[in-house]
């Protein structure tokens, strides 16, 4: 579950980057990825909490 | 300056009318260089993988400890924790957080005892899981 959560979380961040790049708002995307990717609760839920809490891991990104 | 009614109405109509561009729309701006996107993606992957290796060292206080699996699961905590009864809660009765208190609720208000909230089944391990997490944190 940890491996899936972490790779899917990275995929979500890449999705933000691609979407904002396509919308010509790339700086906004970089800022969003930096803030979401450094969120301590998000990081713990993604990389340290080996539980199936999809909503908690991916809700911010969605 | 005072405006009469028709002048105000005309101005309002002008504001509300959909704007018609006098010139053709400018060509759609192209997204910025794809090289920046690739660099950002590669950096994001490496950056996030560092957290993967630091996973066990992340601060435990950042753990999300709220009960989120079943709404209203906290109502079942009292009876499960003090009497080992699950799923059970007393509707409309303030819980008493002690073994004697929980037993007295059963004794004094048997009519208020319920095994569900909102027609949602809470038996088995998923239901106890929410209560256990409440007890741990």
- In the three-class reduction of DSSP (H, G, I as helix; E, B as strand; rest coil), residue B120 is classed as strand
Q: Is the pLDDT of residue A59 over 60?
A: yes
Query: Residue ranges of the domains in chain B?
Result: 73-136
**Contact yes or no for B52 and A37 at CB 8 A:** no
pLDDT mean over A37-42:
83
Query: Residue ranges of the domains in chain A?
Result: 2-58
- In the three-class reduction of DSSP (H, G, I as helix; E, B as strand; rest coil), residue B137 is classed as coil
Cβ of A58: how many Cβ atoms within 10 Å?
A: 17
**Per-chain mean pLDDT for chain B:** 76
Say which DSSP state A39 is in.
Answer: -
Q: What's the confidence (pLDDT) of residue B137?
A: 47
**Contact yes or no for B48 and A6 at CB 8 A:** yes
| ipTM attached to this prediction | 0.82
pLDDT band at B30 (very low <50, low <70, confident <90, very high): low
Pick among A8, A9, A12, A14 to test the B interface (most B CBs inside 10 A): A14
Nearest CB to B31; choose among A14, A21, A43? A21
User: How many pairs of residues across A and B have Cβ atoms under 8 Å apart?
Assistant: 77
User: In sequence order, which residues have a C-beta less than 8 Å from that of residue B21 and are 6 or more positions away?
Assistant: none
Q: Is the entire prediction scored with pTM above 0.90?
A: no
Using the Cβ of B51 and the Cβ atoms of chain A, whether some distance falls under 8 Å is answered with: yes
Give the closest-approach CA distance of A33 to chain B in angstroms: 8
Q: What is the pLDDT of residues B55-83, one digit of tens each?
A: 677 777 766 655 455 667 778 888 888 88
């Amino acid at each position: 579950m940890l491996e899936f959560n972490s790779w899917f979380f990275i995929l979500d961040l890449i999705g933000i980057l691609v979407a904002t790049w396509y919308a010509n708002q790339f700086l906004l995307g970089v800022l969003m990825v930096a803030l979401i990717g450094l969120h301590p609760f998000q990081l713990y839920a993604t990389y340290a909490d080996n539980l199936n809490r999809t909503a908690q891991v991916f809700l911010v990104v969605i | 300056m005072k405006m009469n009614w028709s002048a105000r109405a005309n101005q309002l109509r002008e504001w509300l009318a959909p704007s018609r561009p006098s010139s053709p729309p400018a060509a759609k701006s192209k997204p910025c260089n794809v090289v920046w996107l690739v660099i950002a993606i590669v950096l994001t992957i490496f950056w996030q993988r560092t957290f993967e290796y630091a996973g066990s060292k992340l601060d435990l206080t950042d753990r999300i400890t709220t009960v989120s699996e079943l709404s209203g699961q906290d109502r079942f905590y009292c009876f499960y924790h003090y009497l080992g009864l699950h799923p059970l809660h007393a509707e409309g009765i303030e819980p008493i957080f002690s073994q004697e208190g929980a037993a007295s609720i059963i004794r004094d208000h048997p009519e208020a005892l319920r095994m569900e909230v909102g027609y949602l089944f809470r038996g088995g391990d998923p239901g106890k899981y929410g209560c256990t997490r409440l007890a741990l944190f």
